[in-house]
Structures are given as structure tokens and as C-alpha cells.
Amino acid sequence: MTAEFTGSRVLVTAAAAGIGRRTAERFHELGAEVFGADVDAAGLATLPGGIGRRRTDVSSEADVDALFDEALAALGGLDVLVNAAGTAGPTATVEDSVPGEWRACLDVNLYGTYLCMRRALPVLKREGSGSIVNFSSTAGLFGYPNRSPYCASKWAVEGLSKSAAAEAGPAGVRVNTICPGAVAGERMDRVIAAEARLTGVPEQEVRDAYVRLNSLHTWITADDLAGTVLFLCSAAGAKITGQSIPVDGQTQGL
């Protein structure tokens, strides 16, 4: 696989930390030319040398346009787009949620994914090949209480991706989604803390429940997800498009 990605041109959002960072690092380690974007400029600054970077709010059309203008110039084109940018959104019942917070979650998770795809697809279609990997979630497959904007955004990413796959397939471009389960890290820690506050259940009980909800009784790691991205973008995944790939230890739902 090392030689396979040598010279590939890859753009990764949310590259400053977590899943996006590990994905950018893995492509870079395998010889790809990588450009990373994130709203966290300080985090981007710590990426390994040789990875391009630009601070970007993916919910801003102007920011995304500036990102693609710079990244395409730096990379000389594009072979892979990984849309890893996302936000957990508020934890509240539907009736208690704040409209502005609800909308902000969709702006990042759904509209941001659309804005990046909107710029990437014409480039990939002209190339006659390429792969887009969008991040949904098991929340895009099940309903979760007290997480309605996050669930709604991730279900919508599924529909967006399947539609784009049908449109882009004749041009040789593939579009898939990855649906992570509970991913170990700071973001999940914040989700658990918010859920514990809302429900009055101790944090450790909430944490344990997430593990019990999958058959492997394990947390998912950024490395697990980066490996799946690499597979989908490799020759081994060349005939996979329009699919939703759960990486969740087989979540059983709620």
C-alpha cells in the first residue's frame, strides 16, 4: 500500500486532531501529498512538516473556497477528499434545544461537507478518478436521545453521499461514508459529560454503556478509522461506492 499512495494528492478536513489528523498523518507516511484544514490553527501548526495547512471554517463558503484555491494550487490537483470535520452539537431534548445551536451543528456537519464536495467533485470528475470519504456516524444509522441535531446531520450526510456517488460514478469518482461508533478521545469525553449532566447518571455509567452497546465491547480509535479511509481509497476498494461503512464494533442501537 505504501507505493500505492506515493504522489497521491489528498485534502483532509479536521486535520488538527483526532480522526482527521491521524488520517492526514497516515497518508503522509505512505508518500501522499497532503493538505490539511481545520478551524484550530494552533493544532494545524503541530502537523508533521511537509503537510500543507490552512485554517478553515468549513461552514463558511468563503473559507472553503479559499481553502480549495490554495490546496489545489499547492497539490497540483486532487485525488482524495476526506471530510472529517464535524461537531458534536448540543445535548438536549428536541423541545429544549436552542435553535441557533441546532443550526450550527448542521452548518458544520452537513453544509460543510456539501461545500467541500461542491469544490472537489468537478476536479475529480475532470481527472476521471478519485475518492471522497465523508464521515457520518452510527448516529446516522440509529436515533439517539438528546442528540437530535447531530443525528439529523449525520443521516443527511448519508443521503448526500449516496446521491453524489450516483452522480459521480460514471466519471470514475467514488463517494463513501464511514460511520464510527464511540471514538475514544476528548470529544467523546465532552459528549459523555454533557449526557451525564442532562440525565443525572454518573459519567462512568454513561461511559460503560457506550462500550456495552457494541458487540466487541471496545472503543473505536482514530487509527481504526484512518485505516478504513486508506482501504476505501486504495485499489482494494476500487469497486466500493455509495456505501456506508460502520466502524463501530457492531453497535446494537439503543
pLDDT recorded at residue 157: 98
Total-model pTM: 0.91
Q: Give the 3-state DSSP-derived string for 29-95, with helices as H, strands as E and coil as C.
A: HCCCEEEEEECCHHHHHCCCCCCEEEECCCCCHHHHHHHHHHHHHHHCCCCEEEECCCCCCCCECCC
63 touches 37 (CB < 8 A) = no
pLDDT recorded at residue 210: 78
pLDDT recorded at residue 68: 98
Strand partners, 121: none
pLDDT recorded at residue 208: 81
Distance CA 222, CA 82 (A): 14
CA count, 13 A, side-chain hemisphere, 6: 4
Tell me, rounded to whole angstroms, the distance of Cα 177 from its chain centroid.
Answer: 8
Going residue by residue through the chain, which has 254 residues, state the pLDDT in tens, using 9 for 90 and above.
557 899 999 999 999 999 999 999 999 999 999 999 999 999 999 999 999 999 999 999 999 999 999 999 999 999 999 999 999 999 999 999 999 999 999 999 999 999 999 999 999 999 999 999 999 999 889 888 999 999 999 999 999 999 999 999 999 999 999 999 877 778 778 888 888 887 898 889 888 887 887 888 888 899 999 999 999 999 999 999 999 999 988 776 55
Query: Taking Cα atoms as reference points, which of 177, 192, 169, 96 lies closest to residue 140?
Result: 177
Distance CA 84, CA 227 (A): 14
Distance CA 48, CA 25 (A): 7
**Residue whose C-alpha cell reads 452522480 in the numeric block:** 167
Q: Is 118 exposed, middle or buried (0-12, 13-18, 19+ CB in 10 A)?
A: middle
pLDDT recorded at residue 187: 77
Query: Taking Cα atoms as reference points, which of 222, 220, 215, 209 lies closest to residue 251?
Result: 215
pLDDT recorded at residue 108: 98
Number of helices (H), then strands (E), in the chain = 9, 7
Distance CA 121, CA 135 (A): 17
pLDDT recorded at residue 206: 81
Determine what percent of the chain falls in helix, strand and coil, rounding each to the nearest 5: 50, 15, 30
Domain architecture of the chain: domains with CATH: 3-181+221-247 (3.40.50.720), 182-219 (no CATH)
**Residue whose C-alpha cell reads 431534548 in the numeric block:** 93
Catalytic residue IDs: 150
**Alpha helix ranges (H) inside 107-147:** 112-127
